Amino acid sequence: MQEVLGKCCGSRYSLIFYEIEGKEICEVFFDWKGIVHHEFVPRGQMVNKQLYWEILARLRNAVRKKRPELWENQTWMLHHDNAPAHASLLTRSYLAKHQTSVVPHPPYSPDLAPADFFVFPKLKTTLKGRLFQTIEEIQENAIREPRAITESAFQEAFQQWNKRWARCIASRGTTLKGTVLKML
């Protein structure tokens, strides 16, 4: 599995900005070339299984348009964590129906999530301490920063991910922080 992670896998993360009236959530999907799809969750709504199903449908369209070679040979894979919306029967059925391969994510393993070890530290550096006056300003900055990450930086992140997986496998399921994983 390790050799394919660096070329055709997409990972996802949520950016959450808190403000006086509530929070703004942006779902972002990226792969080794950069951002594939992003969208803002409607105000006041949480990412439940139905909304995630709808987001996945739009993601499939984005992959088809932005990564046609991976779409045609069905080598684009999805990586997401084990949040209830991601692990729901509705989501699993949708992904199986559309023959979307999913890279497993062991529970409690942020060291194996590119968003946690790569994207979030970059975003924290650029967005930390900044105040935004409007929802539009939040949305503009929430996606501008990830788009500014270079393709070579995304490629390096996926190479790191391969190395992290290799270390986890070599240690028979022990994460980088020492917790034993149950690999399925």
Q: Looking at beta carbons, which pairs linking 4-8 to residues 24 or more positions away fall under 8 Å? A: 4/75, 4/77, 5/103, 5/158, 5/161, 5/162, 5/165, 6/32, 6/155, 6/158, 6/159, 6/161, 6/162, 7/32, 7/75, 7/158, 8/32, 8/70, 8/75, 8/76, 8/77
What does the pLDDT look like over 42-73, one tens digit per residue?
Answer: 888 889 999 999 999 999 999 999 999 988 98
Residue 173 has pLDDT above 80, yes or no: no
Q: Is residue 56 part of a domain?
A: yes
Lowest mean pLDDT among 28-42, 73-87, 112-126: 112-126
Q: Is residue 175 part of a domain?
A: no
Q: Is residue 102 part of a domain?
A: yes
- Hunting for tokens 């240690």 — which residue is that? 171
The pTM is what? Answer: 0.81
Quote the domain boundaries for residue 12. 2-170
**How many domains are there within the chain?**
1
Q: Is residue 153 part of a domain?
A: yes
Name the more confident of 123 and 90.
90
What does the pLDDT look like over 16-29, one tens digit per residue?
Answer: 665 556 677 888 89
Q: Is residue 85 part of a domain?
A: yes
What is the pLDDT, as a whole number, of residue 138?
A: 83
Q: Is residue 178 part of a domain?
A: no
What does the pLDDT look like over 93-136, one tens digit per residue?
Answer: 999 999 998 988 877 777 788 888 888 888 888 778 888 888 88
CATH number for the domain that contains residue 152 = 3.30.420.10
Which amino acid is located at 109 in the chain? Answer: S
Name the more confident of 166 and 13.
166
Q: Is residue 183 part of a domain?
A: no
Of these ranges, 85-94, 117-126, 161-170, the one predicted with the greatest mean pLDDT is 85-94
Residue 172 has pLDDT above 50, yes or no: yes
Q: Is residue 59 part of a domain?
A: yes
What is the pLDDT, as a whole number, of residue 51?
A: 96
